[in-house]
Structure 1
Amino acid sequence: MLRLSLSTFRDRWELFIGAILSVAVGVALVQASMLVLTATGKPRIPPGLSRQDEDKMREGFVGAATVMGMTAFLAMFLAVFIVSSTFAYTVAQRRRELALLRMVGGSRQQLRVLLLSESLLLGLIGAALGVPLGVVAKYAQTWLLIEIGLLPNGFTADWQPWAVVVAGVMGVGVALAGVFAASLRAAKIRPLEALRETGAASTVMTESRWLIGLAFAACTVAMVVWAQGADLIGAMMAALGISMFGAVAMSMLSPLVVPFMAWLFGIVLRGSPLAGLAQANLRDGVRRSAATAAPLIVLVSLLLGLTGTFASLAAAGGEEAKRSVNAQLVVTSTGTGADRIAKIDGVAVASIQTTVDIVVTMAEKNVHSGIVAVDPNTYARTHNLPPGVDLSGLTGNTIVTGPARHADRIPVGTVMAVDVAGQPLSLTVVSRMPETLETGDSFLIPRQTLPTAVLEKGTTETVVQVAEGYDPAVVARRIEDAGFDRVQTVSDWATTRAENAQDGNVKILTVLMGLAGLYALMAVINSVVVAGAERRREFAVARVTGLTRPQVVAAAVIESVAVAIIGLALGCLVAGAGLVGIGGATNKAVGTAVVSVPWTLLALVTLGSVFVVALTSGITAVMATREQPVSLATIRE
């Protein structure tokens, strides 16, 4: 069997090259991700940093670790998905060849062993290529994480031999897992049915395909329903699951959609002979169309689903911040002078909130960021406090835990140790803020408790409530004339906060979108190339019946573009399901459904996918029609 597998690889290498590259890239990414992830677990913090800069750097290491973990997981998922779909289509293309093996005495068990042997070779070759590629991937990932600001300059990930072994074993496992189902299906088909292309051999929607497709579709619907009542963290995880499970479901069930789309396509381009030929090919080549559409479904569902999810969460955070403020303007300043804002004509209330550089010790953990000094009276007048929050006791040596510390469950009455410029203080917790969509502040402290020197060094946001009968725009100009450069409306301020909160998510998405785009590009090109390479006789027959070579190529391009549109439409359906779940979760959190659709990304993905598919199918069709049609029209491939 090994010798036969080697012979198959040598003679029909074009059927396996895409799966080999998928495994190689998966091995490389897993290997590189594990090396970088291990290095971020032991961060090297350079000396001389301020406490806030040190916290920011540690948060960057945590973000980088998150990215690497998601990258490794996503790489394995995409590798299994692409290898399985590619190999399933490859096995379908080789029905006659496998049937002949059965006719000359091969058993079902031997056929399964043959296919699994081929997958083992595929995995070994992919792993062998992926290990050296992983060295390049490690440097590329490190450079990218430094460029987007998650890792500091000079960061390096040491070489670990175990990462090579783990990644290689996972690569071989991915190949075997991806081919196992295809080998079982191939062994069940009777040899005569495969030779004549009748019965089970001609059925695209097999029992296993129905079962997997409907099961994953049911799970997708269940997650959409569950996300309606989940918190935002749960909804975010559900959105990721919806993107992955929905992509699998749509890929399995896509053959049901192809005939309808072919009919619709024929109506739109009625009267064109080439469009009619493309429509007929779509109806006849359902398996081929489904194999080409599958990676596009994954691409769109993951990219649009994840991007829309993070953007919706950020927009919901901005909406929540806007609703939490009972004012019209926010003034940002540094140093002293914020006290002058309350004396400006038209200002009814001015709540001064200064982020200060002090240390709060919490269960042997030092907190440096998000500590805000406020005046409790003006703060309560300019903010819509959550139910159960009372700031009347925030006087003297007291403290209130903010939304960022909600998960720590610090009880009221706890005494916190605070270091204020070298001076120790003991502050008692008098109230607790509930969790919010964005991270929020860590602690609120009375301004009167802190010395002026500490307040002068902080950044201050003054929330301004405009007096009745005054135009906020006029008051804003008066504040600017008083020497305050940055005056924003509450709406603009909330939008800016949402964009800043989205910044970290954008960095993560930059890496993940690049990964998903790379895999989808490889899979699409491979599917189109495999499909085109196996259609030489079909193209020859079309030319013999009177079509010119350019017309045959044009018909192939039209057909591929139609398949790309089908994949994009199904992917958008999955992404839309994820956004429905997020909309329900944001409605529960802030009282209104907040959904952000990434239209720009959708346009870019659509144009890019159509261009890649059209270009690849055109080049493949040109190469497949190089020979004289008469010499190919009378043979069976």
Structure 2
Amino acid sequence: MLRTALRNVFAHKARLLMTMLAVLLGVAFVSGTLVFTSTISQAQHKSSEKGFEKVDVSIRQDNSDAPEGRDTVDPLQQTTLDRAAALPGAESATGEVNGFAALADKDGKLVGNGFSTQGANYYAGRDGKSSDPRYPMKDGRAPRAAGEVALDSKTAERTGYKVGDTVRMSIDGPVREEKVTGVYTTDDGSVAAGGSLVLFDNATAQKLFAKPGQYTEISVTAKSGVSQAALKEQAEKILPPHSEAVTGKKLADEQSRQIESSMSGMQTSMLAFAGIALFVGIFIIANTFTMLVAQRTKELALLRAVGASRRQVTRSVLIEALFVGAVAGVAGLAAGIGIGAGLRSLIGKMGTMPDGPLVISPAAVISSLVVGVVVTVLAAWLPARRAAKIPPVAAMGSVHAPASTRSLVLRNTLGSLFSAAGVALVLMGTKVDDGKAPMGAGAALLLIGVFVLTPLLSRPLIAAASPVLRLFQVSGKLARLNAVRNPRRTAATASALMIGLTLITGLTVIATGVQKAVDKMATDSLKADYTISMANYSPLSPDVDKKLRASDEVTATSPLRNGPATIGGSTEYLTGVNGESIGKLTSLDFTEGGWSGLSGGKKVVVDTTTAEQQGWKLGSSFQVSYEDGAKGRLTVGGLYKGNEMLKGILVDNSALTPHLAKTADMQVLAKTKNGANDQVKDALTKQLGDNPAILVEDKKDVSEGVAQMINMLLNVLYGLLAMAVIVAVLGVINTLAMSVFERGQEIGMLRAIGLERRSVKRMVRLESLVISLFGGVLGIGLGVFLGWAAGELIAGSGLETYQLTLPWGRIGIFLALAALVGVLAALWPARRAAKLNMLAAIKTE
């Protein structure tokens, strides 16, 4: 039986090639994902370890012990640094302070990747004459006074800046011009990932990112022979309140865990799409083995007649599957390593990851082989069971017995139950508060149910295409009859395409609805012509608002400021606005009251959700304790429906600003004389110093920014889901090719009675087109339903402006894609059918 199984594999090489390709693609995606993520993870891990080589103990703030009403504790003081340097086991101690610093290139564009554009201090010792071991100078010298900076070598290389050049940059809004005095090398992970790190002298950095004499962290290097644990024990004796001492090893381990955590999301997503491709591949594999078994009915029945047991027949089919899976697994692993290397090279050229070798982990090798073998064997198990049930008497017949009425009734009953349960769970998910779990389970059950019901659905849906197929006369009629002749085969072929299009359509429907919701929110809640914010959405300097108000073009502005406060024993955030102008800049939906009285600093306006949580009504008053400990009493002067643009407790800046530790704006709203247009935008940009760190955006820019992010995400998802569609195409080709082989006598007879080669080709192409469109219609229908359900969940979770919006243009493209799949998949099988020798085909075996 083993020899028989292997002989069958080699006897049907062409038929099994498509199956091997389907498994290979899925396995390649799995192994490529594991190789790529392992490579990035290890490269960043090595980079982080290298970055902590000179740190034995770090003294840092412990924000978990922050006083009530505050998110952070006070920075570390110079006295702590001096005491750390004087520890018996300390070789040296370095104070660190850092923050956002936007650097412009020679074209005025922002350097780095937004959040990775950082600034830090060059600590030259207490006397200012030492060198900072963290940043060895490659060229020039370290910054020593205000107006001087040093650039990392990678940023200098990318921008072309050299020692002596003047650079433009910004910390919190206003433009600064600094002279480059040096270029240094660093192992900093953010720089290795494509960011920038600008160094200031110690005093300037403290003034920009903290306060004079303050640090965010202190790094201590141990003397020779002193362990990290011993030095940590010494450092714990000098710790100020709300701080902790951590060893360099622990810091490296923490960063490694953070890297693994950040990589896990991407790895999970990519593996999910690999799983989808493999899931689609299961249909192809099962289809292929079912057809192979049906075509070998006489052969298997003869084996049963000469004494082979059912178990031996089952085992022979599974051995074929094992061989195919093993070969496909090995080939998929090789292809996956190539994919991982290609992705690493691409990311490396973009400068967004540190250098490191390609990592082929044992997990990637084992997973690839296991996935390839297990998926193939599982998919072949049902056909193997069917093969074992072939009675020996079938060796005398010519056609394998069709599925029994009982099996069809059972299948349709199970499909209906699964579908009904799936729809019920999806609908339940739209009604409950946290409906992700029931909706996910419902979507899975619905897909399984529809797949099981697909043979039943194929007849009426394909029959609906009859009027169009009649236009093609005999070829069209034969194509329709062939498509419904074996509903199970048609269903398995169409289902592969259905799953891919369900996911693509559902994601597109959700993304379109979110985009429209953001557009509506921006239009409905804002009267302001422009919003001004930092490129990384960090706080803005109050000088930005002052410069805008100084412009003749601007008629009204309101900075939005956040400040913590204690209300009723819990911490809440107050949002400061300009009480006099905020009504001209926003269009909130007030249920009671309004902006009146806000500018006096005694009243607030509150969104209805917060008011309900606090038990407030119009006219309610409450006591508030501000960040500096001062107390006051505020009265609710208006209740409004909150949204993602504005929500919470809004108070006049005159009441909030005096109590803030540091005055900073999250964004500024501005209204202009001539509305939003390119000339006004250019004028405002110029008024703010052509600053690359500041975003001046109108409603259209906000909407386009969201649309760009959504489209970028969709394009990535489309690219990943394309794997499933490619596998589906292979399935259609496989089914048609084997169907043509199975119907060889029939096609030969049609040719013998006068059907032209052209008509035979047309028949096969139309059959492929009908099957593909059948899968496409099912996929798009399911995608729209699941997209609607997910949208209801999104609307219930806070995005109240969300409404179902069907992207008819893209849906049309998806349907055309399904048709294209059918046309392309039929090219080779149609040509093969037309070339059949009619006499050889109709002769008796």
TM range, smaller chain: 0.7 to 0.9
Q: CA deviation at 1:344?
A: 8.0
Distance 1:262 1:327, change over 3 A: closer
Q: Is the 8 A contact 1:479 1:487 kept in 2?
A: no
Distance 1:438 1:290, change over 3 A: farther
Distance 1:372 1:275, change over 3 A: farther
Q: Which residue of 2 aligns with 1:365?
A: none
Distance 1:479 1:133, change over 3 A: closer
Q: CA deviation at 1:239?
A: 6.7
Distance 1:327 1:596, change over 3 A: same
List gaps (5 residues or longer) in structure 1: 361-370, 404-411, 417-424, 465-471
Distance 1:86 1:349, change over 3 A: same
Aligned pair partner of 1:72 in 271, 280, 297: 271
Tell me whether 177-186 or 208-217 shows the greater mean CA deviation: 208-217
Q: Which residue of 1 aligns with 2:179?
A: none
Aligned pair partner of 2:303 in 86, 101, 122: 101
Higher RCO (Cα < 8 Å, 6 or more apart): 1
1:502 is aligned to 2:710:
yes
Give the distance between the partners of 2:735 and 2:273, measured in 1 at CA.
20
Aligned pair partner of 1:296 in 487, 497, 500: 497
Q: Is the 8 A contact 1:297 1:570 kept in 2?
A: yes
Give the distance between the partners of 2:313 and 2:629, measured in 1 at CA.
75
Give the distance between the partners of 1:26 and 1:135, measured in 2 at CA.
13
Q: CA deviation at 1:345?
A: 9.1
Equivalence map 1:285-324=2 (5 Å): 285-320=486-521, 322-323=523-524
Q: Which residue of 2 aligns with 1:187?
A: 388
Deviations 1:226-269 (A, max 9, x none): 231255x845x777666654444333322212222343222234
List gaps (5 residues or longer) in structure 2: 52-97, 102-113, 118-189, 194-254, 535-540, 565-572, 610-622, 635-641, 686-694
Aligned pair partner of 1:249 in 444, 449, 456: 449
1:462 is aligned to 2:462:
no
SS in 2 for 1:332: strand
Give the distance between the partners of 1:92 and 1:427, measured in 2 at CA.
81
Distance 1:260 1:500, change over 3 A: closer
Give the distance between the partners of 1:10 and 1:387, measured in 2 at CA.
76
Aligned pair partner of 2:478 in 267, 277, 291: 277
Paired amino acid for 2:457: V
Q: Is the 8 A contact 1:34 1:68 kept in 2?
A: yes
Q: CA deviation at 1:385?
A: 9.3
Q: Is the 8 A contact 1:243 1:575 kept in 2?
A: no
Distance 1:287 1:238, change over 3 A: same
Give the distance between the partners of 1:617 and 1:549, measured in 2 at CA.
15
Distance 1:487 1:447, change over 3 A: same
Q: Which residue of 2 aligns with 1:173?
A: 374
Tell me whether 46-55 or 111-120 shows the greater mean CA deviation: 46-55
**Is the strand fraction higher in 1 or 2?**
2
Q: Which residue of 1 aligns with 2:468?
A: 268
1:258 is aligned to 2:320:
no
1:221 is aligned to 2:423:
yes
Q: Which residue of 1 aligns with 2:822?
A: 613
Q: Which residue of 2 aligns with 1:546?
A: 754
Q: CA deviation at 1:13?
A: 2.1
Deviations 1:44-74 (A, max 9, x none): 6798995863399799997764233122233
Distance 1:613 1:414, change over 3 A: farther
Give the distance between the partners of 1:16 and 1:481, measured in 2 at CA.
62
Q: CA deviation at 1:553?
A: 1.0
Larger radius of gyration: 2
Give the distance between the partners of 1:443 and 1:85, measured in 2 at CA.
58
Give the distance between the partners of 2:352 and 2:440, measured in 1 at CA.
25
Q: Is the 8 A contact 1:31 1:134 kept in 2?
A: yes
Distance 1:463 1:427, change over 3 A: farther
Give the distance between the partners of 1:622 and 1:385, measured in 2 at CA.
65
Q: CA deviation at 1:123?
A: 1.4
Q: Is the 8 A contact 2:729 2:825 kept in 1?
A: no
Give the distance between the partners of 1:440 and 1:520, measured in 2 at CA.
46
Q: CA deviation at 1:610?
A: 2.2
Paired amino acid for 2:4: L
SS in 2 for 1:597: coil
Q: CA deviation at 1:135?
A: 0.9
Give the distance between the partners of 1:439 and 1:508, measured in 2 at CA.
27
Q: CA deviation at 1:578?
A: 0.5
SS in 2 for 1:547: coil
Give the distance between the partners of 1:332 and 1:66, measured in 2 at CA.
32
SS in 2 for 1:8: helix
Distance 1:531 1:111, change over 3 A: same
Deviations 1:167-196 (A, max 9, x none): 211221112222223323443454556946
Q: CA deviation at 1:12?
A: 1.3
Give the distance between the partners of 1:442 and 1:154, measured in 2 at CA.
46
Equivalence map 1:355-366=2 (5 Å): none
Percent identity, aligned pairs only, is 20
**Is the helix fraction higher in 1 or 2?**
1
Give the distance between the partners of 1:427 and 1:555, measured in 2 at CA.
84
Q: Is the 8 A contact 1:300 1:605 kept in 2?
A: yes
Aligned pair partner of 1:126 in 328, 346, 355: 328
Q: CA deviation at 1:203?
A: 6.3
Distance 1:113 1:229, change over 3 A: same
Aligned pair partner of 1:54 in 116, 123, 132: 116
Give the distance between the partners of 1:526 and 1:442, measured in 2 at CA.
59
Paired amino acid for 1:139: A
Distance 1:497 1:109, change over 3 A: same
Q: Is the 8 A contact 1:292 1:524 kept in 2?
A: yes
Q: Which residue of 2 aligns with 1:12?
A: 12
Deviations 1:427-484 (A, max 9, x none): 99x99xxxx99799999996666799x85xx8844154xxxxxxx8845479929932
Give the distance between the partners of 2:517 and 2:545, measured in 1 at CA.
30
Aligned pair partner of 2:731 in 506, 523, 530: 523
Give the distance between the partners of 1:442 and 1:176, measured in 2 at CA.
57
Distance 1:111 1:222, change over 3 A: farther
| Number of equivalenced pairs | 585
Give the distance between the partners of 1:507 and 1:612, measured in 2 at CA.
19
Q: CA deviation at 1:164?
A: 0.6
Distance 1:535 1:198, change over 3 A: closer
Q: CA deviation at 1:107?
A: 2.5
Q: Which residue of 2 aligns with 1:467?
A: none
Tell me whether 526-535 or 13-22 shows the greater mean CA deviation: 526-535
SS in 2 for 1:259: helix
SS in 1 for 2:115: helix
Tell me whether 48-57 or 78-87 shows the greater mean CA deviation: 48-57
Give the distance between the partners of 1:224 and 1:553, measured in 2 at CA.
43
Q: CA deviation at 1:133?
A: 1.1
Q: Is the 8 A contact 1:586 1:592 kept in 2?
A: no
Equivalence map 1:322-341=2 (5 Å): 322-323=523-524, 325=525, 327-332=527-532, 336-339=543-546
Equivalence map 1:237-636=2 (5 Å): 244-270=444-470, 272-320=473-521, 322-323=523-524, 325=525, 327-332=527-532, 336-339=543-546, 350-353=557-560, 374-375=576-577, 377=579, 381=583, 382=586, 384=588, 460-464=667-671, 474-476=674-676, 480=680, 483-484=683-684, 490=699, 492=700, 495-496=703-704, 498-499=706-707, 502=710, 505-506=713-714, 508-588=716-796, 589-591=798-800, 593-635=802-844
Give the distance between the partners of 1:191 and 1:143, measured in 2 at CA.
58
Distance 1:40 1:513, change over 3 A: same
Q: CA deviation at 1:509?
A: 1.4
Q: CA deviation at 1:504?
A: 6.2
Distance 1:87 1:519, change over 3 A: same
Q: Is the 8 A contact 2:562 2:576 kept in 1?
A: no
Deviations 1:486-518 (A, max 9, x none): 87664x355235325526633641442333333
Distance 1:308 1:145, change over 3 A: farther
